[in-house]
Amino acid sequence: MGNSKFGKFIILGAILGGAISLCDKSTRRQLKGNTEKMASQVKYYSKNPDVLKEKLQQQKDKYMSIYEQISGDATYIKNQVAELKALTPQVKELVVDTKEAFVESKEEYKEIVNEQKEGMETKKI
């Protein structure tokens, strides 16, 4: 692995690519502006570490809040899934019982209708 030139060529390619991209004037301007902005921020925060500390604390609080919300949502969903798993056999049984009740009622209605037809035919004779 020590003799591998792959890593060296990747680094060389990145350096050459960066150098070639700096041939474009707008890229150089943008790089200069970003560098100046970053330098001024470093200078500001080095003089005002309390501001940096406060910003970092706010970011930490924000991400902790998001984490807690996602964690709470995940727990809620997990509980809902567990409840659904527990209810599924009961719902299935309820559906089967309802179906059986309708099938039985259907047979009873047929018998009642047939009896009424027979009764009416008997009265006609």
Please give the distance of CA 68 from its chain centroid, rounded to a whole number.
15
Q: What is the pTM of this model?
A: 0.46
Report the distance separating Cα 70 and Cα 88, nearest Å.
26
- Residue 110 is predicted with a pLDDT of 76
Domains of the chain, by residue range, sit at 7-47
- Contact between residue 31 and residue 22 where contact means Cβ atoms under 8 Å apart: yes
- Residue 46 is predicted with a pLDDT of 94
> How far lies 20's CA from each of 10, 17, 36, 54, 82, in Å?
15, 5, 21, 40, 59
Residue 110: both structure tokens together: 């047929």
pLDDT single digits (tens) 3-57? 788 989 999 999 999 999 989 999 999 999 999 999 999 999 999 999 999 999 9
- Residue 106 is predicted with a pLDDT of 72
